Amino acid sequence: MAQADGRISRLRIMVTVALALIVAIVPLPEALRPARPDFLLLLVIYWSLSAPRISGLSFAWLSGLAIDLLSGTVLGQHALAFLVVAYLTHKFQLRMRIFPIWHQTLTVFMLIALYQFIVFWIDGIVGPGITNWLRWLPVVTGALFWPVLVAVLDTWNRRRA
Amino acid sequence: MVTLSSDTRPIIGRGPPLGARLFFLGLLSVVVMVLDHRGQYLETARQWIGIAMNPLYAVVEAPATFWNWMTGSFSDRATLRVDNARLSKELHSARVKLLQFDALQEENQRLRALRAASQGTAARTLIAEIISVDDVDPFRHRIRVNKGATDGVYKGQPVVDAFGIVGQVVRVDRYTAQIILISDAAHAIQVQINRNGIRSIASGIGDLKKLSLPYMTIEADVKVDDLLVSSGLDGIFPPGYPVARVSKVERDPSATFAVVEAKPLAQLDRNREVLLLWVARSPAETKETPPVEAAPPAKTAPPEAAPQQ
């Protein structure tokens, strides 16, 4: 359904971002921790598709910086990864919007994989990287959460604020 | 499918093109990373921007805090009495131990004075509570505590608990600090076998229950159950604090180094509170430090005692 960019307010985006940041650090059982999806990244992709005027590259960069601050990694690491993902999303937004959902999910899967790879790569430059296979688990869980996220946020966006 | 939003802006005048913005922000990221990692120029900036994250910690912490408060205020009389009896018993035995400790400390100081040793002792301590938030990266052993730069915490500060060395401070915000545990794969600590004084390095391997001692030759006199204490040679940890107990020694005659593993003594996975240490380093400082009295002088000591690391 066609929707004007203006109806999605900045406030709405800020609320979702705040929630995603909380989910990023909320304590989980030890077994589930490696599977925690990168909700903030999913949000950045979603808002880049549905509200590209508000959620530009600087928004993505600042979101990444917030993750850097929270996780105590070298500043700019996640910011760069977020930036690259947001750039690709913006670049292909017209195509990605009209993909069927499974196709879109696959694209998002690859975007998250790219994100994790950039983080992994910079980790390796800065210090001893983490070579555990479980570190790629968020790619799978993130892609699985994508249809859910789209369904929820689309429903929310269709209602008038 | 993501809902479509029609972009009604004119094509001209949308600001810089996408590629230019990517280039600019990408360059900015790289500059920031280099400044942060190579030069450590951004510590102050990180402290101040980090304040913005404090409300998040407060929100995430709230359920746990509330639960503690609930259980605290609704625990029944019997439980409290049992607790009280147990605690006073513990206090009693701790007092007795402290008496011995005082005597030993004095003897130790006399001996040190004889040797004119420059080894530092902990001059000031501060209890920090662990904030129950998950680090974003589950594969690194880092914890966050509720004391920061405003409490005089500094980077590289040693952290212990009641059983041994926990780790050191890696990042300092205004009100919180991040601690790297000795079991993190990026951490190594200089140790010494308490029995015979052999020095080595214990490095973390990303397992909370294991440290690895990769530089022990097969002839080295190390046995299972040997106590490893910090040697103080790294200039970060004060000497003589317990670190780990050797749990496995494997000698392959064809190899140069033995496979030695140790189990950390500190309760790395069960802590609620840790102790931050301020270490007096130079002999002059050690002499000026008043002997530790029966009550730990934790909060009464002046806050400027933090030495430059």
**Global pTM exceeds 0.80:** no
- For domain B123-303, the CATH superfamily is Rod shape-determining protein MreC, domain 1 (2.40.10.340)
- With 50 as the cut, is the pLDDT of residue B294 above it? no
pLDDT in tens, B261-275: 999 998 887 777 888
Q: Lowest-confidence range among A60-69, A76-85, B1-10, B22-31?
A: B1-10
Domain limits, chain B: 29-65, 75-117, 123-303
Structure-model confidence comparison of residues A26 and A146, the more confident one: A146
Taking the CA of residue B29 and the nearest CA in chain A, the distance in Å comes to 5
pLDDT for the residue B189: 93
| Interface contact B37-A74, CB threshold 8 A | yes
Quick one: average pLDDT of B122-130? 80
CA distance B23 to B29: 10
At B190, phi and psi to the nearest 5? -80, 125
pLDDT at B116: 56
Residues 165-184, chain B, touching A (beta carbon < 8 A): 170-171, 178
| Mean pLDDT in residue range B224-228 | 91
Q: Is B206 on the interface with A (CB under 8 A)?
A: yes
Q: How many domains does chain A have?
A: 1
Q: Is the pLDDT of residue A22 over 80?
A: yes
Alpha carbon of A117: minimum distance to chain B alpha carbons (Å): 14
Please state the ipTM of this predicted complex. Answer: 0.83
Q: Model confidence over A45-103: pLDDT tens digits?
A: 999 998 888 888 999 999 999 998 888 788 899 999 999 999 999 988 888 888 999 99
pLDDT digits (tens, 9 = 90+) for B73-108: 777 788 888 989 999 999 988 888 888 888 888 877
Q: Are B275 and B167 in contact (CB under 8 A)?
A: no
Instruction: Note down the domain range covering A132.
Output: 5-158
- Side-chain-side CA neighbours of B212 within 13 Å: the count stands at 13
B185 in reach of chain A (CB within 8 A) = yes
What is the reported pLDDT for A139? 93
Six token digits for residue A123: 């980790």
| Portion of chain B with pLDDT greater than 90, in percent | 18
For residue B28, pLDDT beyond 50? yes
Residue B122's pLDDT band, with cuts at 50, 70 and 90, is: low
Calculate how close chain A gets to B251, using CA atoms only, in Å. Answer: 27
3-state secondary structure chain B: CCCEEECCCCCCCCCCCHHHHHHHHHHHHHHHHHHHHHHCCCHHHHHHHHHHHHHHHHHHHHHHHHHHHHHHHHCCHHHHHHHHHHHHHHHHHHHHHHHHHHHHHHHHHHHHHHHCCCCCCEEEEEEEEECCCCCCCCCCCEEEECCCHHHCCCCCCEEECCCCEEEEEEEECCCCEEEEECCCCCCEEEEEECCCCCEEEEEECCCCCCEEECCCECCCCCCCCCEEEECCCCCCCCCCCEEEEEEEEECCCCCCECEEEEEECCCCCCCCEEEEEEECCCHHHHHHCCCCCCCCCCCCCCHHHCCCC
